[in-house]
Amino acid sequence: MLVAFALTPMGVEEVVADYIADAVKIVRESGLPNRSDSMYTMIEGEWDEVMSVIKRATEAVALKAPRVQVSIKVDVWPNMPDPLNNKIALLEQRIVDTGGNGSGPITDDA
């Protein structure tokens, strides 16, 4: 299972890196495959372990911010090994297969 989530501290200044840093540290220390970008953090794992990490990350932000909004997107794809990397690899291969312009259909969930 692959989960993308975003934590948004509310009632704080516009730059939120100081509020999010502890949350990302918790994710990285979880031992689960993960990746963070400018909008989301993705974690790969089973329901309970992933949700536990998200809960702890949210609580870390809540220690500093008066309110936290959490957005979660879940991809349950039982037969996809290593979805954190393989979903992107599948997309990149489809782009190559269509001549590099991305005009062909992508039929798998990518």
Topology classification of domain 2-76: Alpha-Beta Plaits (3.30.70)
pTM more than 0.95: no
- Predicted local confidence at residue 53, as pLDDT: 98
What is the tens place of the pLDDT at every residue in 1-37? 999 999 999 999 888 999 999 999 999 999 999 999 9
Q: Which of these ranges, 23-32, 49-58, 86-95, has the smallest mean pLDDT?
A: 86-95
Residue ranges per structural domain of the chain: 2-76, 78-110
C-alpha to C-alpha distance for 54 and 37, rounded to whole angstroms = 16
Q: Residue 20 corresponds to which amino acid?
A: I
C-alpha to C-alpha distance for 7 and 39, rounded to whole angstroms = 9
Across the range 53-72, mean pLDDT stands at: 97
Q: How confident is the model at residue 106 (pLDDT cuts 50, 70, 90)?
A: low
Query: Is pLDDT of 107 > 80?
Result: no
What sections of 17-82 are H helices per DSSP? 17-29, 47-62
Question: How far is the CA of 52 from the CAs of 38, 102, 105, in angstroms?
Answer: 22, 37, 36
C-alpha to C-alpha distance for 78 and 18, rounded to whole angstroms = 36
